[in-house]
Chain A
Amino acid sequence: MREELVWLDDESARRVSAWQASLEFVGALGLLLFASGRTLLQGRVEGRETVHQMAFIGAASAPIVALTSAFTGAVVTLYSASLLTQAGGGSFVGGAISLAMTRELAPILTGIMVTARCGSAIAAQLGTMKITEQIDALRALAVSPIQYLVIPRVLAALIMFPLLCMIANFAGVLGGWIVANAFGITLNSYLQSIRLLTEPFDLIGGLIKTLAFALIVTLVSCQQGLGTRGGAAGVGHATTRAVVLSMVLIFAANYFLADLLFANR
């Protein structure tokens, strides 16, 4: 098991096919997941770093997650309210929006906003540390980059994503309410239909999704950062790839998780 493959010994400018590159990416990601799990099971957790990352990933992302969710809740209500009120189903608007938020929109928005804000920052920071030999300096001081850099970010994301998702749910439903109100739907019937149509599992399932997204964003961004090669341009590439790959994997995981969690409901 060669843990150091995560940060690559060989930096030769090789030509590889897209197919081989994808295989290498999946391999490196698996390796990082495995090494992180093992380090977590036996090593100590860097408490201070983890709290630091929780503030960065969680607290600092809360406003932007709330804002985007509120607008998303509002626009979904805009369509659904005009449709449903025409069809005489105005009392279902609240339920429709809360179902959409809890199951789909809040988890996805959380994943995307944190990827944009933090995934890129993680890849850029770790990439810079790689090309300026700070990763080597860590290892020279007998501190594992996985223990000091990767685990705190993964843990922080696992803790903060569900909280951010709750904020997104709340903001989305609130944004929805503001628009629904303009369509003449009363608060009472709005809340009533939320209670009628959404179950606790819709919320729980959505939160479970965010745990998967948290793992995807942090592991992909850390892997891209630690695997950076080739100077400042390399850091740029790593950052772009971290964001793109995280997003693609989040959407793919979202489909399979939806199938797994909600298909039979």
Chain B
Amino acid sequence: MNETPALETRQLVYAVENKTILKGIDLRVEYGEVLGIMGASGSGKTTLLKCLCGLIKPTAGEVWVEGVNIAPLSERERMPLRLRLGIVFQYAALFDFLTVYQNVAFGLERHRRLSQKQIREIVRERLAWVGLEGIENLYPSQLSGGMRKRVGLARALAMDPHIVLFDEPTSGLDPVNAYQIDRLITRLNRELNLTAVVVSHDVTSLMRTSDRIVMVDEGQIIAAGAPADIRASEHPKVQAFLRMASAEAL
């Protein structure tokens, strides 16, 4: 494993005017692992993810992305660093006025010196990775929720990031589609050695995909470890969360 971690936060705090959303998060993501971040809705998972990729600026603390502390940097300075990370948004956030092809090609056309032919080839390949072929000319509104998420993943993968962040990749999907997304994450991790951070409240899915899980509650990490450790945790809030999740699954 590499000396510098893929991602690291130190005493990360994020506060808005009347509320502290993240209260001192210490997190370390090693290259090649799948880290699951588990927590109830409103616990601050999305906010943590957006701090990790520099979409929002932490109030205090440090965020290290591949050895660079992005916390003090300005929007302009952070811009190029963001390309090292791919982000898959909760509702895919596809550009709804562009076709699937234009969505996946978006970053390539702006940041890589490639011919149209090379771009077409990359787009086709990334769509094939996520199991979608022949939908290049459709608009996002013509796709199902599961397809949209996979196009969102293809768009993130187009820029060849080392790390991909997933915000609730399975939420809103039926069990079959959710399972397929989980398989996809695992496969990309194994075959491309992709580092993945998966944020979710879906316990089943996280247990399936993650090498390690941290549980976030009210902006703090209350437990961390391998899936089995989390399951065996005696922290009452972790226990309560797992019980609720398994009750829901029945």
Q: Which residues of A contact B (CB under 8 A)?
A: 1-4, 9-12, 14, 125, 128-129, 132-134, 136-144
Which residue of chain B has the shortest Cβ distance to A6 in the bound complex? B75
Whether the Cβ atoms of B106 and A143 lie closer than 8 Å is: yes
The yes or no answer to B57 lying at the interface (CB within 8 A) is: yes
Report the tally of A-B residue pairs with Cβ distances under 8 A: 76
Would you mind naming 11 contact pairs between A and B with Cβ atoms under 8 Å apart? Answer: A1-B74, A4-B56, A9-B16, A12-B16, A136-B89, A136-B93, A137-B93, A139-B55, A140-B85, A141-B110, A142-B111
The closest CB in chain A to the CB of B76 belongs to A3
User: Are the CB atoms of B19 and A140 closer together than 8 Å?
Assistant: no
* A143 and B93 in contact, given A9-B56, A12-B18 (Cβ under 8 angstroms): no
Question: Is A132 within 8 A of B107, CB to CB?
Answer: no
A18 to B95, CA, bound (A): 34
Residue numbers in A under 8 Å from B159 (CB-CB)? 141
In the assembled complex, the Cα of A144 lies from the Cα of B55 at a distance in Å of: 12
What is the interface size of chain B, counting residues whose CB is below 8 A from a CB of the partner? Answer: 32
Contact B93 A142 (CB under 8 A): no
- CB contacts (< 8 Å) of A141 on chain B: these are 82-83, 106-107, 110-111, 155, 159
Tell me if B27 counts as interface (CB < 8 A to partner A).
Answer: no
Q: Which residues of A contact B107 (CB under 8 A)?
A: 141-143
CB distance from B196 to the nearest CB of A (A): 16
Majority secondary structure, A binding face: loop
Query: Contact at A140–B53, with CB atoms within 8 Å?
Result: yes
Beta-carbon contacts under 8 Å, B127-186 to A: 155, 159
Q: Contact check: which of B56, B76, B89, B111 meets A137 at CB < 8 Å? A: B89
B95 and A134 contact, CB distance less than 8 A: yes
Q: In the complex, A129 Cα to B97 Cα: how many Å?
A: 10
Task: Please give the distance in Å from B148's CB to the nearest CB on chain A.
Answer: 11
Q: Does B16 lie within 8 Å of A133, measured CB to CB?
A: no
**What separation, in Å, do the CA atoms of A3 and B73 have in the docked complex?**
12
Q: How far is the CA of A144 from the CA of B155 in the complex (A)?
A: 17
Asked if A132 and B91 sit within 8 Å, CB to CB, the answer is yes
Query: In whole Å, how far is A118's beta carbon from the nearest beta carbon of chain B?
Result: 15
Inter-chain contact A139/B16, CB cutoff 8 Å: no
A11 surroundings in chain B (CB, below 8 A): 16
B121 in contact (CB, < 8 A): no
What separation, in Å, do the CA atoms of A125 and B18 have in the docked complex?
29
